[in-house]
Structure 1
């Protein structure tokens, strides 16, 4: 098996292919690190979080408010409002694990409120 590989230059082709994969890996890794470092500054900008919260509040008022009018159940809106409050409270924390935990918990509560609202049928 090995003599036929070396006779036909297959080992060299395999080595060239492996070198090419290495090159792609190195370049792609460097580009990915540069993109993430540049995007990290944008994604950690407080305005992104504030705009996201405003959009969540608007959609929450529209969706959960519609649910109260249509089916009359307050529980989905109450859970959603608790989620929005938790998300808003997380904006007062310093960037770090605690902020992420509170944000994720608030988002999950809000999603639960919307899901309960969607499932509520008279």
Structure 2
């Protein structure tokens, strides 16, 4: 595949080169949130209720989709490989499906963590293909 050269300002180039790393970090924060929510829910119903608020999850998924579009889409243009975007999209789809599940019982947490892990893998593949 050919590499495309873009002329951006140094600040934008620095940010663009780190989209995948930011997205992987965001995936890690999501995993911590899911585990912490489950622990807090078990320890204190009020704290768990705040962290398990559906709006919190919807905003988080929106941010994850935004990073996915920016980082994985940029990767397609930078290195020409579709696989990282496909893997990342699968993870986002699993995360979106998990939002529709009931919050009790832990099923939503398991599916969300699986989606987060797959999304992080897609970003890592994208990062490796780019540099």
TM-score by length of 1: 0.68
Higher RCO, 1 vs 2 (CA within 8 Å, ≥6 residues apart)? 2
Q: Tell me the secondary structure at the aligned position of residue 120 of structure 1.
A: helix
* Counterpart position of 1:106: 115
Larger gyration radius, structure 1 or structure 2: 1
Gaps of 5+ in 1: 1-31
Paired positions, count = 90
* Counterpart position of 1:5: none
- Cα deviation digits, residues 46-94 of structure 1 (max 9, x gap): 0000000000000000000000010010000000000000000001111
- Cα deviation digits, residues 84-111 of structure 1 (max 9, x gap): 0000000111112211111000000000
Segments of 4+ in structure 1 off by > 2 A? 35-39
* Counterpart position of 1:47: 55
Of residues 67, 77, 82, the one that matches 1:74 is: 82
1:42: Cα distance to partner? 0.9
What is the 5 A alignment of 1:22-33?
Answer: none
Of residues 72, 77, 84, the one that matches 1:64 is: 72
- d(CA) in 1 for partners of 2:51 and 2:122? 26
TM-score by length of 2: 0.64
More helix by share: 1
